[in-house]
């Protein structure tokens, strides 16, 4: 199995992981696991400002490469996680 075949079969798990982390950011803050992560950001801020947009960008590139347009829309949701969170929760994380 080549790398492209492997990515084509499994890149959607990256999107699922992103949404799982996004929702989990509302309920779980691992301050006891990571005491000083990324400066002044709390876990939710780190998720919506850095981790989720990076995961969304990688999955968007792969979605366009493999022409999976449904996953491309979900990838855009991960890229714009912060504005969507503000819109839905009014400042939640």
63 token code pair:
């979605």
Decide if pLDDT at 90 tops 90.
Answer: no
Q: Which band of pLDDT confidence, cut at 50, 70 and 90, is reported for residue 8?
A: confident
Predicted TM-score (pTM) of this structure: 0.78
> How does DSSP classify residue 80?
T
d(CA 84, CA 68): 22
Residue tagged 């000083």 (tokens) = 36
Q: Which residue has the higher pLDDT, 82 or 28?
A: 82
Query: Nearest-CA neighbor of 74 among 57, 92, 91, 49?
Result: 57
15 token code pair:
């999107």
Q: Which band of pLDDT confidence, cut at 50, 70 and 90, is reported for residue 57?
A: very high
Domain boundaries, the chain: 11-23+42-93
Decide if pLDDT at 91 tops 70.
Answer: no
């Amino acid at each position: 199995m080549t790398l492209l075949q492997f990515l084509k079969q499994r890149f959607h798990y990256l999107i699922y992981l992103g949404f799982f982390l996004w929702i989990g950011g509302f309920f779980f803050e691992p301050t006891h696991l990571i005491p000083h992560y990324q400066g002044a950001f709390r876990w939710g801020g780190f998720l919506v400002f850095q981790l989720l947009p990076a995961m969304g960008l990688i999955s968007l590139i792969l979605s366009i490469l493999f022409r999976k347009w449904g996953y491309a829309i979900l990838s855009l949701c991960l890229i714009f996680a912060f504005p969507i969170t503000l819109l839905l929760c009014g400042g939640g994380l």
